[in-house]
Amino acid sequence: MGEIRRIEGTLVGDSYRVRRLRAKGGMSDIFDASHRESGRRVAIKVLPQDKIRHSEYLARLEREGSLLRLAAGSGSVALLDSGECQTYGPYLVMEYLVGRPLDGILISEGPMLLDDALPIFVEVAGCLARLHELRIVHRDIKPANVFITAPTEGAQRAVLLDFGVSTRLAAPDEAHDDPDFDYFAPSVDRLTSRGELLGTIEYMSPEQIMAMHDEVGFESDIFSLGVMMFELLSGDLPYGVDWAHRLQNLHDSVAPRRIDQAVPGVPHELAELVAEMIANRRGDRPSSMRSVHDRLTRIATGLAREPRRPLLEAWFAAKGSNDRKYNRVSYAAPVRMMVNGRGFDGRSEDISERGMLLITRFRLMPGERLSVRFALPLDGWVTQIDAMVRWCREGRERVAVGLLWVDPPAEVTLALRSYVDLIHDPELPAGATQLDAENASR
């Protein structure tokens, strides 16, 4: 991830002012921005500086925009605008989501209860069924690409993200007359040499791993969703995570573990469905994502119990409704840590005026001191704060770390308090705290 760039205040196109860098990856950067006139908050996807003039990455971003336009209303992240500017090159403007990605919830909270997980399974399968009916294959289904919105944003949703390696399969008798979709744009398959992996290895179907592009279709998304369902319920994968081990299992046709072996008490119908979804042979998987959705819906209906509170309600609860002294709210941002002179990268999951929940690949010890560099909410200014590790919880290849600030500057505390209060009360002016509002009303 490297150093966090100071991009706050810059313009994307003529309409969007950047607040901060929200996420950084090898194929794209995501900005937290707002529309200059309406003030609407948006997320903007751009190419990294070293990829702006790379024809393959340009074509992939263009392809992603076309797919998102076609997928509008399906349960995927909404595309609001697109364009190209001199500073950042081509860009996609998407809805701004408040909440947490599923991988962060899994790492920090552990395996999910069935009652919490089933509604998510149903919603994601429904979204994918609608995409498949549009002949769109996502090809990178994993917890990190499913975002759970906060209850404060209305009805809680599971939103599918990142169509960067997605493609659209042409029907044999399809007429190329859809004015809203560029059928002649280069597909991701044609942009990729045979043998290059597209997606995330842990969730890939066997046909994806073998890079058999002509055979990667809707069944591959079914496989990936099945692996994700297994992991959310068990905290583990249905096969060895070691790359050589996985290849050997495929070579020997070793069947993946069953979810009811890993999690006792899983309903038989769900265990059978997951086993079919993660079958090594495509022909042994369910016939369609629509049938997966229908079976999940029947299972959820059959297990219906008392309504549970929204999954993230405790994370976004108002003051006085929980036992925490300081409210914490979702805040996703790249983080740079310095520990004993060594630099590490991670991302924040949530934040309060007293600390941060951090996701990283490096284990830290409770009581350990470190320096944390990240962009502040609201204004995007990059700050550096000393912190102490309160706790550390290891997940699969990731670690959740609870940090406590050590003597934070007063202006940083005020900025974080303002952000937390603004999330709880969107009617507050930006930069005002709840205490300011209460004093003004007296």
**C-alpha 376: how far from chain center:** 20
Instruction: Please say whether the beta carbons of 32 and 96 come within 8 A.
Output: yes
Instruction: Please say whether the beta carbons of 97 and 78 come within 8 A.
Output: no
Q: Which is catalytic among the residues 32, 103, 116, 140?
A: 140
Grouping H, G, I as helix, E, B as strand and the rest as coil, residue 366 is coil
**C-alpha 442: how far from chain center:** 42
Residues 6+ positions from 80 with CB-CB distance below 8 Å: 42, 93, 94, 95
Q: Which amino acid is at 342?
A: R
Is 140 assigned a catalytic role? Answer: yes
Instruction: List b or e across 137-174, with b for residues whose CB sees 16 or more CB atoms inside 10 angstroms.
Output: bbbbbbbbbbbbbbbbbeebbbbbbbbbbbbbbeeeee
Q: Which residues pair with 158 in a beta bridge?
A: 148
Q: Which amino acid is at 410?
A: A
> Would you list the DSSP string of 299-344?
HHHHT--SPPPPTTGGGGPPTTSSS-SS--EEEEEEEEEEETTEEE
Phi, psi of 293, rounded to the nearest 5 degrees: -60, -45
Give the number of other CB atoms < 10 A from CB of residue 14.
Answer: 8
Give the number of other CB atoms < 10 A from CB of residue 287.
Answer: 12
Instruction: Give the integer Cα–Cα distance in Å for 159 and 280.
Output: 27
Instruction: Give the integer Cα–Cα distance in Å for 117 and 307.
Output: 13
Indicate which residues carry an active-site annotation. Answer: 140
